[in-house]
Chains A and B, each alone.
Chain A
């Protein structure tokens, strides 16, 4: 259609204007203007239709996929021991131990299988919002309102106070919101309320790289499971999810479709995409190669924000911990809600699937942690 209009255009402009038909000239100009605006509106309509064509949604492609049956998941363990709200937890690579941190400054290492507590540390600050298990299983990192991230080597000597060997690694100018070891015990990635993320050398406490780009507090981060292993994603109060190159410190991709703070980001197992959970009560899936959002997981009956998300091992299920005390299980491909799990008596603040995918753990403001399978 556009071709025809452009040709018509040219024809009018190029055809010789006879002097006697001055009035006709004026009419012609009006027609030209009219045609021009019509062609502009047609152009934008074409763009719209074109956009509709190539913005294929994930659930459309997944129509032919078999639906999931009923899911029966129950609480298999309840870990009691924290004296206040549980804020964060992380799994050990041995698939059964976890570390958790709470508002009262306590950091506990559990063997979740037996529910035994194995280590406990009291931090000098309250609101320990971040904790992480080292890949070797020999140390944990944590931090919060102290603006720092500290590493505690786990000693088995019952008499030894873990706090004695504590190593201060990261220093931010505001609270620590999340931390994660990279592929080894030697480097830690942190995110902070000061709006930045940073990569630190554990041994020396040296800052290796800093990441600037968020316009507000950064609340979460996740490392990419890729072959070249050099990127991570962060989410913040500026509603943006940013993908960063760890070597250069540059932001290589940015996504802004959430309507409120992003509380949690987690990579899809293949590393090609990531999910986010936000205060706007939705979870979303972003495809890194298509460079856009490809799915929204929401329901009118879900009103409260998502605090934490994680994928099952195959990436088919997305688990979300919500501020309304529930866990919603989503079919990642079809976009439908598969199951809702009740159990916690206050908001779910943290959720992680175990390293071998056999279970997932949740921590809550009701002071407990639960293991679900």
Chain B
């Protein structure tokens, strides 16, 4: 593997193969029959289940791979160094000790290979949690990164702190043993996977590889996005039944109008690409609202929509709209009360005293991410969505005209300005989007 192969991305395949091989070992170690015997380990006054000693690890490796103690220690050392096994005592010291020191398997959620690319946001939230939990608990390098991140993603810092508080609050409700375990897992993960800046010349090999892999994975996003949307790109793949500009037939537009009885299949598929795709399609939003109504959480989407109207609406209407939102969604005993964490609620209520365009931003973001992480994935698995997908039309491709020089009549369409005027004259009952 020369520098040239490295530059061409050859190393990535090599690195990933290593991870796959390590994971095979780890899975074998946890096999119910042939795997390691695990027991409860005592850490100070708490008892941690499913732990093993360093000596156990080495013995198992020796037995199962037919290697000597030195080699076993060497191999086991890598498993610890790459985060598949982490020490319970002295968590910052990623070394395998051939004695009674307790170790635990890292949960697959935190495997380096599953969590790429590492998110700056996640790391910021982790550091914020540490900072909040105990002031001054951050290590020197963590303090550095914390201030770099604070500058870099300053515009979402409120969100970071809010998420950190939420996660801490949620973890307080768990049993102490579980909490310690999760903290250890997280600490071990970030020890290995922390974003590698600020940089200095004395970088160790793994850091360089991580940098390169990160860059590689970021580039892959473009490939993935283009592949996902390729069938939806009319210039690249054509569109059904035909491209109106080429055939002079507006059927494609009619079939894909804002609200149709039955949408096309491509359109319904697109709703599954991202939450934003679903919300930006009027029909998708309508379907999602129906789903939420069944789940008795429609107030979330209503709240989000009301907040959007403040953000993008007339300045003169901000005060009255904020009052409406408070009445309907935030006041104690409100008809459609939304579930926001107390910190955000307090901040929002304080802000409402002097309403401005962005006063609902935090609350809106909280509800948005709640829907995105919770209701949206469940909607995609629901019968409502699946039946819509199966009902959806796949238009027949229009055969090219036998006499191509005979031009079809090009029909005009009602101007949006006309539609707006019509609805205005019909009165408020004829409400449009």
Chain A interface residues toward B at CB < 8 A: 2, 43, 46-47, 49-50, 52-58, 60-62, 65, 68, 73, 76-77, 92-97, 111, 113-114, 116, 118, 136-138, 153-156, 182-184, 186-187, 201, 203-204, 206, 208, 227-228, 230, 245, 247-248, 250, 252, 268-270, 272-273, 287, 289-290, 294, 312-317, 332-333, 353, 356-360, 371, 373
Q: Report if B313 contacts A (CB, 8 A).
A: yes
List residues of chain A with CB within 8 A of the CB of B11.
Answer: 53
- Binary interface encoding of chain B residues 310-323 relative to chain A, with 1 for a CB under 8 A from any of its CBs, else 0: 01111110000000
B413 touches A113 (CB 8 A): yes
List residues of chain A with CB within 8 A of the CB of B218.
Answer: 287, 289-290
Given A96-B413, A154-B415, residue A203 in contact with residue B315 (CB < 8 A): yes
List residues of chain B with CB within 8 A of the CB of A314.
Answer: 225-226, 228-230, 232-233, 236
- Per the 8 Å Cβ criterion, residues 70-92 of B in contact with A are none
A96 touches B236 (CB 8 A): no
A228 touches B219 (CB 8 A): no
A312 touches B236 (CB 8 A): yes
List residues of chain A with CB within 8 A of the CB of B203.
Answer: 50
The number of residue pairs between A and B whose CB atoms lie closer than 8 Å in the complex comes to 205
Q: What would 12 A/B residue contacts be, using CB atoms closer than 8 Å? A: A46-B201, A54-B211, A56-B216, A62-B222, A62-B223, A136-B420, A182-B312, A268-B222, A312-B235, A313-B232, A333-B222, A373-B243
Given contacts A60-B8, A114-B412, 14 further A-B contacts (CB under 8 A): A61-B219, A62-B223, A95-B253, A114-B410, A118-B415, A138-B420, A187-B312, A270-B221, A313-B235, A314-B226, A316-B230, A317-B235, A357-B235, A360-B235
Say which residue of A49, A58, A154, A268 sits within 8 Å of B417 (CB atoms). A154
Q: How far is the CA of A111 from the CA of B256 in the complex (A)?
A: 18
Q: How far is the CA of A183 from the CA of B276 in the complex (A)?
A: 14
6 smallest beta-carbon distances between A and B, as pairs:
A137-B416, A314-B229, A314-B233, A184-B312, A373-B245, A61-B219
Q: Report if B33 contacts A (CB, 8 A).
A: no
Say which residue of A206, A290, A333, A356 sits within 8 Å of B315 (CB atoms). A206
Q: How far is the CA of A268 from the CA of B221 in the complex (A)?
A: 12
Q: Report if B244 contacts A (CB, 8 A).
A: yes
Q: How far is the CA of A156 from the CA of B156 in the complex (A)?
A: 44
List residues of chain B with CB within 8 A of the CB of A315.
Answer: 222, 225-226, 229
B235 touches A73 (CB 8 A): yes
B3 touches A49 (CB 8 A): yes
B245 touches A371 (CB 8 A): yes
B413 touches A94 (CB 8 A): yes
- Say how far A238's CB is from chain B's closest CB, in angstroms: 23
B215 touches A55 (CB 8 A): yes
B212 touches A54 (CB 8 A): yes
List residues of chain B with CB within 8 A of the CB of A208.
Answer: 357
Say which residue of B235, B276, B415 sits within 8 Å of A137 (CB atoms). B415
A61 touches B417 (CB 8 A): no
Q: Report if B368 contacts A (CB, 8 A).
A: yes
Q: How far is the CA of A317 from the CA of B237 in the complex (A)?
A: 12
Given A52-B7, A61-B220, A94-B416, residue A77 in contact with residue B314 (CB < 8 A): no
Q: Report if B430 contacts A (CB, 8 A).
A: no
Given A50-B203, A156-B415, residue A113 in contact with residue B410 (CB < 8 A): yes
Q: How far is the CA of A254 from the CA of B362 in the complex (A)?
A: 26
Q: How far is the CA of A228 from the CA of B279 in the complex (A)?
A: 13
Most buried by A among B7, B239, B276, B415: B415
Q: How far is the CA of A312 from the CA of B243 in the complex (A)?
A: 15
Say which residue of B223, B312, B368 sits within 8 Å of A186 (CB atoms). B312
Q: Report if B25 contacts A (CB, 8 A).
A: no
A96 touches B233 (CB 8 A): no
Given A156-B415, A333-B223, residue A312 in contact with residue B233 (CB < 8 A): yes
B201 touches A252 (CB 8 A): no
B225 touches A76 (CB 8 A): no
- Say how far B335's CB is from chain A's closest CB, in angstroms: 26
Q: How far is the CA of A248 from the CA of B368 in the complex (A)?
A: 21
- Per the 8 Å Cβ criterion, residues 250-270 of B in contact with A are 250, 252-253, 256
List residues of chain B with CB within 8 A of the CB of A289.
Answer: 218
The residue of chain A having its C-beta at the shortest distance from the C-beta of B252 within the complex is A358
B236 touches A317 (CB 8 A): yes
Most buried by B among A54, A204, A208: A54
A138 touches B417 (CB 8 A): yes
Q: Report if B275 contacts A (CB, 8 A).
A: yes
Given A186-B314, A313-B234, A333-B222, residue A228 in contact with residue B365 (CB < 8 A): yes
Given A43-B201, A316-B230, residue A65 in contact with residue B223 (CB < 8 A): yes
- Binary interface encoding of chain B residues 375-417 relative to chain A, with 1 for a CB under 8 A from any of its CBs, else 0: 0000000000000000000000000000000000011110111
Q: How far is the CA of A228 from the CA of B418 in the complex (A)?
A: 32
List residues of chain A with CB within 8 A of the CB of B3.
Answer: 49, 52
Say which residue of B239, B312, B315 sits within 8 Å of A358 (CB atoms). B239
List residues of chain B with CB within 8 A of the CB of A93.
Answer: 416
Q: How far is the CA of A154 from the CA of B214 in the complex (A)?
A: 50
Q: How far is the CA of A47 from the CA of B201 in the complex (A)?
A: 7
- Say how far A205's CB is from chain B's closest CB, in angstroms: 10
Q: Report if B202 contacts A (CB, 8 A).
A: yes
- Say how far B19's CB is from chain A's closest CB, in angstroms: 18
List residues of chain A with CB within 8 A of the CB of B228.
Answer: 314
- Say how far A153's CB is from chain B's closest CB, in angstroms: 8
Given A116-B412, A138-B420, residue A227 in contact with residue B315 (CB < 8 A): no
Say which residue of A43, A54, A332 sits within 8 Å of B215 (CB atoms). A54
B225 touches A201 (CB 8 A): no
List residues of chain B with CB within 8 A of the CB of A118.
Answer: 415
- Say how far A92's CB is from chain B's closest CB, in angstroms: 7
Q: How far is the CA of A273 from the CA of B218 in the complex (A)?
A: 11
The residue of chain B having its C-beta at the shortest distance from the C-beta of A182 within the complex is B312
Given A54-B208, A97-B415, residue A358 in contact with residue B235 (CB < 8 A): yes
Q: Report if B155 contacts A (CB, 8 A).
A: yes
Say which residue of B216, B226, B312 sits within 8 Å of A183 (CB atoms). B312
B230 touches A358 (CB 8 A): no
Q: How far is the CA of A46 from the CA of B256 in the complex (A)?
A: 56
- Say how far A184's CB is from chain B's closest CB, in angstroms: 4
Q: Report if B246 contacts A (CB, 8 A).
A: yes
B221 touches A272 (CB 8 A): yes
List residues of chain A with CB within 8 A of the CB of B358.
Answer: 247
List residues of chain A with CB within 8 A of the CB of B108.
Answer: none
Q: Report if B295 contacts A (CB, 8 A).
A: no
A156 touches B233 (CB 8 A): no
B226 touches A227 (CB 8 A): no
- Say how far A96's CB is from chain B's closest CB, in angstroms: 7
The residue of chain A having its C-beta at the shortest distance from the C-beta of B213 within the complex is A54
List residues of chain B with CB within 8 A of the CB of A373.
Answer: 234-235, 243, 245-246
Q: Report if B351 contacts A (CB, 8 A).
A: no
List residues of chain A with CB within 8 A of the CB of B311.
Answer: 183
Q: Report if B9 contacts A (CB, 8 A).
A: yes
Q: Report if B6 contacts A (CB, 8 A).
A: yes
List residues of chain B with CB within 8 A of the CB of A96.
Answer: 244, 253, 413
List residues of chain B with CB within 8 A of the CB of A252.
Answer: 154-155
Given A52-B3, A114-B412, residue A250 in contact with residue B155 (CB < 8 A): yes
Q: Report if B374 contacts A (CB, 8 A).
A: no
- Say how far A280's CB is from chain B's closest CB, in angstroms: 23
